Amino acid sequence: MSNRLNVLKTCKLYIGGKFSRSESEHYFPALDKKQKPLANLCRASRKDLRNAVQAARKAQSDWSGRAAYNRGQILYRMAEMMEGRREQFIAELERAAVSRRRAENETDTAIDRLVHYAGWTDKYSALFSSVNPVASPHFNFSIPEPTGIVGIVAPDDYPLIGLISLIAPVIAGGNTCVVISSEKYGSIACTLAEVIHSSDVPGGVVNILTGFRADLIPHLATHMDVNAVLCAADDPEQKKNIQESAHLNVKRVHFYDGTNWMKEESQTPYYIMDVQEVKTTWHPVGI
């Protein structure tokens, strides 16, 4: 029997490509299946959220301006890095939440889902664009463009696949995002942040906050520089709060609670389209 003391990890926030402690200097424990301490998590404050949105805005024009093919390469790179850490994800999922079989299944589905969206980056706009018939001498066409900064509220019931299924279509479409992780499974979000950090995703494209949803959602929902909110948490009060506050700058709001993210149907380019704006151009011709 070893006398060694366990080193419990203190997971940090991931903001603007850097791992930082919370401005609040508050922490809370993440527990495993047996209610034993697993890690310490930062309790993000509204100022951390503000910093994350700032970082997301700073990264937005570069990310949306990249070639779609390059975004695909980077998403694929993420999948590669996750594959390399497959065992770690399985072990963490098993310890924190689920059975061994489910953990393996969830990790593999998550990796495959990244590859799926990596393929869509340079194809969805061809699929959802159109040339429109108009009764005037104009060449009229519509194309989808990223909406900007997307706030993501992660679900509690799918620790890894839920995160991936929400983040991948958002960034595949050229948006940047601020993710509020599940309160229960923040440590898995932190491991995912480490993967993102080491896989060519530019700083600020994905920002991950751990903490209490009740602290953060009101400020996310009222933030004038956030363009859309995707919420997979099922708290009716929090959903109401998002709906009420989103009118301030007419955010796009989508609720995904109750979705079974393990299913094949839960990966479609329509999730990309949920955070796209359609731009229509009238180009004079033949005059």
Partner 1 sequence: MIPDFKQTVPIDQIGVEERVARFRTRSIKKESKLFALKLALRMVDLTTLEGMDSPGKVRQLCYKALYPHEIDPEIPQVAAICVYPNHVKLAVETLKGSGIHVASVATSFPSGMGRLESRIDEVKYAVEEGADEIDMVISRWAFLKGDYGYVYDEIAAIKEACGPAHLKVILETGELETYDNVRKASDIAMYAGADFIKTSTGKISPAATMPVTLVMLGAIRDYYIKTGNKVGMKPAGGIRDSKTALHYLVMVKETLGADWLDPDLFRFGASSLANDLLMQIIKQKTGHYQSPDYFSIG
Which spans of this chain sit near partner 1 (rule: CB under 8 A)? 50, 53, 219, 222-225, 248-249
CB 86: neighbour CB atoms within 10 A? 14
Nearest distance from residue 249's CB to partner 1, in Å?
Answer: 7
Distance separating alpha carbons of residues 64 and 85, to the nearest angstrom: 28
The two structure tokens encoding residue 193: 């942040």
Judged by beta carbon, residue 82 or residue 220, the one nearer partner 1 is 220
Residue keyed to tokens 């393929």 = 119
Distances from the Cα of 139 to the Cα of 126, 129, 282, angstroms: 17, 14, 6
Query: Could you tell me which of 142, 123, 108 has the C-alpha nearest to residue 272?
Result: 123
Nearest distance from residue 155's CB to partner 1, in Å?
Answer: 25
Nearest distance from residue 258's CB to partner 1, in Å?
Answer: 30
Distance separating alpha carbons of residues 68 and 129, to the nearest angstrom: 15
Judged by beta carbon, residue 96 or residue 180, the one nearer partner 1 is 180
Judged by beta carbon, residue 53 or residue 275, the one nearer partner 1 is 53
Judged by beta carbon, residue 1 or residue 224, the one nearer partner 1 is 224
Contact status, residue 176 vs residue 63, Cβ threshold 8 Å: yes
Contact status, residue 59 vs residue 205, Cβ threshold 8 Å: yes
Nearest distance from residue 225's CB to partner 1, in Å?
Answer: 4
The two structure tokens encoding residue 231: 């919420």
Judged by beta carbon, residue 60 or residue 121, the one nearer partner 1 is 60
| Phi–psi pair at 189, nearest 5 degrees | -60, -35
H helices of the chain, in order, are: 46-65, 68-84, 86-96, 100-120, 124-128, 161-172, 186-197, 213-222, 236-245, 269-273
The two structure tokens encoding residue 111: 């990796």
